[in-house]
Amino acid sequence: MCGINGIFAYGAGVAPPQPRELLATRDHMRARGPDGEGAWWSPDGLVGLAHRRLAVIDLADRAAQPMRLPEADLTLVFNGEIYNHRELRAELEARGERFVTQSDTEVILRLYAHEGVAMLRRLRGMFALALWDGRKGGLLLARDPYGIKPLYYADDGGAFRFASQVKALMAGGGVEDTIDPAGWVGFHIFGHVPEPFTLHRNIQAAPAGTAIWVGRDGVSAPAVYTSLARILAEAPPPDAPLNEVLRGAALDSVRSHLLADVEVGLFLSAGVDSGALLDLMRQAGHGAPRALTLVYPDFSGDPRDEGPLAAAMAKAQGARHVLRRVDQAEFEADLPAILSAMDQPSIDGINTWFVAKAAREQGLKVAISGVGGDELLAGYSTFQTLPRLLRRARPFTHVPGLATFTHAALSVFAPGPVRRNPKVLGVLRHARSWGGAYMLRRAVRLPAELDAIMDPEMLRTGLERLNPVDRLDGLLEPDPGCDNGRVALLESRAYLRDQLLRDADWAGMAHGVEIRTPLVDIDLFRAVAPHIAGLSPGDGKRALANATELGLPMEVLKRSKTGFAIPAAHWALGPHGPDRVQSRRWALSVAEAFRPPG
């Protein structure tokens, strides 16, 4: 894992980029790549590519980036890992290619030389890449189908800039700093900034699963090469039981994600996902991995305490278990660094900061995470609550004005707790589509509540640009044709991509730790897709537990979902009511750290 950036002055008459801008952007990402740095300029000085390296595969200098393939006039910077690079390498060698490194970077270069942009569909992994094709005179940008690795760009009509981080692009000094109200509104609604928006009007995220071509005539619209929605929509009927499919596909994903020339550890909670991954790592031949669990004095003796169950699973699997204690004093000491490392505001990610910090303390550069299991295997309560919300609201959609009238009446005559909870009344206003129901379920604040905390003009403009319900409904195109599929797409393409994966990236990279996610894998998704429509509550997690050889403790299987819980809001703000209130106050606190001066 690394940091990448570049500039292409593609417009006629545009002055060549300044080397200092390229290097300032690159070196803002020093934590992402502490093992090396590089830069390359085209002979005409109009294209510059730069890279910060975290060496994980082929640790030698020969695998440094930017990497050139002179005979094809190709230059590549790449962030991530290609887990099937050995199979692709063998295929290319059979075609006559001769490699000079053991890196996946060289595989991408040589595969592109043979297949062009079509090669993207053959890559299994997490990646963001930029490839300069000197013969065509253009720059190819691409991002993996889930959007595990970030990629941001700015185009001013004459020069195109990109980087792994929003803050890095701004640090270069070449992008005008104009606030994007849509990014701010999105954060206050969801607790993260929804893609493609950022807090800056001139910077946007490259969409997951797309390729962008920048040529002398300008920047193309992102072209989809792999779509999660289309995979679900075109999934055939199941041809084998889910237990059998998941046992093979999950083990295959774990085995692929263990490919590295450095030690690979595991973030171990007390949940099914990471517990199953620990067993699958052992099955894949990765015996006695280093497993890291966070424990908090505030949770001692509480059901949220991950330590005892995680320790029991680690002992059963023969793992080298590390219980890492985090207290309020350490949180307060680290908070300025956390907010500085946070590339875009988020109400989450602090747990990942501390477990990645613990990993680095143990000498680890790579760690496996169980993130993604709930989205893939219908583990969230939203798989039940969203269809139920839509059913409840359906009668009000058939009579014009009925929802508005009922909302107004309840706002006046309903009991106090109903009137004070905007989400209760919000069912009538928002649960008319899947996107509206999802926003209602996931929102930190609903749009109608934002006038109390935002400037009216900024709020109006932001809501118009963001258009949150329509944006969420658009994530379901093409429609997967089943309720579970719709929820899986919303969770995968909104919460997972825009919050969990983004937080894993900035929090891990802040400590020079690459976080790998075997349950967020395109081949695994294709294997499970035929079964998603038929999943009943608990089916998916039982199937994952059944993929283990040694089994999981009954207490883990019956345990309510907590994830890597952390009392951050309580530490920062004091005990101020239930979790919903804490989240809203914590969001305001995070926003203050990103608010521009004045």
What global pTM score does this model have?
Answer: 0.94
Q: Tell me what pLDDT residue 413 has.
A: 47
Q: Say how many CA atoms lie within 13 Å of 275 toward its Cβ.
A: 31
Q: Tell me what pLDDT residue 405 has.
A: 46
Give CB contacts under 8 A, 24+ apart, made by 395-399. Answer: 396/428, 397/432
User: Using one digit for the tens of pLDDT, what is the confidence trace for 470-506?
Assistant: 999 999 999 999 999 999 999 999 999 999 999 999 9
Look at strands 290-295 and 264-267 and give their pairing.
parallel
Enter the tokens of residue 222: 């992102």
Give which of 152, 8, 64 is closest to 505, Cα–Cα: 152
Q: Tell me what pLDDT residue 88 has.
A: 99
Look at strands 320-325 and 125-133 and give their pairing.
unpaired
> Residue 167, SS3?
helix
Residue 486 has φ and ψ, to the nearest 5°, of -65, -45
482: annotated active-site residue: no
Q: Is the pLDDT of residue 577 over 90?
A: no
CA distance 580 to 445: 10
Give which of 427, 435, 540 is closest to 490, Cα–Cα: 435
| Catalytic residue (one of 1, 2, 54, 166) | 2
* N residues, the chain: 598
User: Using one digit for the tens of pLDDT, what is the confidence trace for 54-83?
Assistant: 999 999 999 999 999 999 999 999 999 999
Q: Tell me what pLDDT residue 72 has.
A: 97
User: Using one digit for the tens of pLDDT, what is the confidence trace for 509-543?
Assistant: 999 999 999 999 999 999 999 999 999 999 999 99
Mean pLDDT of the chain: 93
Q: Is the pLDDT of residue 49 over 50?
A: yes
Residue 242 has φ and ψ, to the nearest 5°, of -60, -40
Give which of 133, 134, 74 is closest to 105, Cα–Cα: 74
User: Using one digit for the tens of pLDDT, what is the confidence trace for 86-101?
Assistant: 999 999 999 999 999 9
Q: Is the pLDDT of residue 421 over 70?
A: no
What amino acid is encoded at 587 in this protein? A
Give which of 51, 40, 46, 41 is closest to 17, Cα–Cα: 46
Mean pLDDT for the stretch of residues 352-379: 97
- Print burial letters for 380-416: b (CB count within 10 Å at least 16), e (below 16): bebbeebbebbeebeebeeeeeebeebbeeeeeeeee
Q: Tell me what pLDDT residue 173 has.
A: 96
Enter the tokens of residue 266: 């595991």
User: Using one digit for the tens of pLDDT, what is the confidence trace for 140-186?
Assistant: 999 999 999 999 999 999 999 999 999 999 999 999 999 999 999 99
User: Using one digit for the tens of pLDDT, what is the confidence trace for 263-318?
Assistant: 999 999 999 999 999 999 999 999 889 999 999 998 888 888 999 999 999 999 99
What amino acid is encoded at 68 in this protein? R
Give CB contacts under 8 A, 24+ apart, made by 186-189. Answer: 186/462, 186/466, 186/468, 187/344, 187/345, 187/587, 187/591, 188/444, 188/445, 188/450, 188/453, 188/454, 188/587, 188/591, 189/439, 189/443, 189/444, 189/445, 189/446, 189/447, 189/450, 189/466, 189/468
Domains of the chain: 2-226 (3.60.20.10), 230-378+486-567 (3.40.50.620), 382-482 (no CATH)
Give every CB contact of residue 393 below 8 A, 6+ residues apart in sequence: 403, 427, 428, 431, 432, 437
Reduce the secondary structure of 174-207 to three states and give it as a string.
Answer: CCCCCECHHHHHHHHHHCCCCCCCCCECCCEECC
Residue 482 has φ and ψ, to the nearest 5°, of -155, 155
